[in-house]
């Protein structure tokens, strides 16, 4: 099932664009001074990616809450986007209620559940996406709606629409190459602990890949960002460990100082890790490049699950956690 969902990512993006174009949104009473996106896991990672993709174009700050609470600055001038695929994420529901109490402009992205019920009760804007799938397999739906919501509220322009359409075309045309590259990366990661690096404004991509390896491949790994890791983690590379495989996400037009750092880092790390693999994005815009990285990483996660002989869909330990919490 998960492999099929990954295969259909470009189709999901196309459907998500149609949903966004048809969404019935309303203008708030007050001028928006800041944005807060509330969501966790597969429903929250879109916010992490979005905040970096719009950092140079958004007219107001775009921040994220991945817990039970919202920042003190939230008020009637805040746009709060509530993102929960199931509509029943308890942390996000708590954030939603707090935002409503503070008279924020609340917009929901969900497939139903309690969040849809509250949106109906309070007459809040709500974009419905198709349900019945693992939240992590629906990033195309949720992330796309965030762009549309920001655009409707005049926080970003509408160039994202053409960029998303170009991303769909890129993923479809490059499908075989993406799968081939994913297979090559999977071979490097077999029986290893992945160490994921990316550069500034690509942390959301690194986090997404880490989370997909956690949930789909059922393995532990970690990520860090260049240049930040040059001020701490690099010092930790002091002992040879053949269980570690390094993967670095990069752009062809990467800032030259970051590329210089990457080369120096590789000179240090190569003495201690089993392998170092550089992965370069494709596409012309930041959105195209992000969608390429996301799709490639998703493929690696399901291929690695296959190689390990495990079910990429099951998340029994998360269900166990939720059942325990429900009793408290």
Q: Report the catalytic residues.
A: 215, 231, 322
Distance from C-alpha of 87 to C-alpha of 131, rounded to nearest angstrom: 10
* DSSP 8-state assignment for residue 89: -
Distance from C-alpha of 250 to C-alpha of 265, rounded to nearest angstrom: 14
Residue partners of 263: CB distance under 8 A and separation at least 6: none
The strand order across the sheet containing 193-199 reads 222-226, 193-199, 241-250, 273-280
Distance from C-alpha of 210 to C-alpha of 177, rounded to nearest angstrom: 22
Indicate the SS3 state at residue 295: helix
b/e per residue 239-262 (b: at least 16 CB within 10 A): eeeeebbbbbbbbeebeeebbebb
């Amino acid at each position: 099932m998960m492999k099929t969902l990954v295969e259909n990512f470009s189709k999901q993006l196309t459907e998500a664009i149609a949903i966004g174009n048809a969404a019935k949104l309303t203008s708030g009473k007050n001028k928006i001074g800041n944005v807060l996106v509330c969501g966790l896991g597969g429903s929250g990672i879109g916010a992490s990616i979005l905040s970096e993709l719009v950092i140079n174009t958004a007219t107001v700050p775009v921040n994220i809450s991945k817990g039970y609470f919202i920042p003190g600055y939230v008020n009637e001038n805040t746009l709060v986007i509530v993102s929960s695929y199931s509509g029943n994420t308890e942390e996000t529901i708590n954030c939603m209620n707090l935002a409503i109490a503070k008279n924020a402009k609340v917009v929901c992205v969900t497939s139903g559940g309690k969040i849809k019920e509250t949106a109906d009760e309070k007459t809040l804007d709500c974009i419905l996406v198709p349900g019945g799938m693992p939240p992590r397999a629906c990033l195309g739906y949720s992330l796309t709606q965030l762009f549309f919501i920001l655009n409707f509220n005049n926080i970003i322009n509408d160039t994202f629409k053409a960029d998303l359409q170009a991303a769909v075309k890129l993923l479809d045309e490059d499908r075989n190459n993406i799968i081939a590259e994913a297979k090559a990366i999977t071979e490097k990661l077999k029986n290893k602990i992945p160490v994921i690096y990316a550069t500034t404004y690509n942390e959301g991509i690194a986090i997404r890949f880490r989370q997909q390896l956690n949930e789909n491949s059922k393995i532990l790994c970690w990520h860090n960002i260049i240049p930040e890791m040059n001020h701490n983690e690099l010092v930790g590379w002091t002992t040879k460990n053949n269980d570690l495989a390094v993967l670095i996400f990069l752009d062809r037009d990467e800032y030259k100082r970051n590329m210089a750092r990457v080369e120096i880092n590789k000179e240090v790390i190569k003495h201690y890790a089993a392998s170092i693999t550089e992965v370069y994005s494709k596409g012309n815009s930041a959105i195209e490049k992000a969608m390429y990285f996301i799709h490639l990483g998703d493929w690696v996660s399901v291929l690695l699950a296959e190689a390990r002989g495990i079910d990429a869909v099951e998340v029994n330990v998360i269900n166990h956690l939720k059942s325990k919490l429900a009793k408290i």
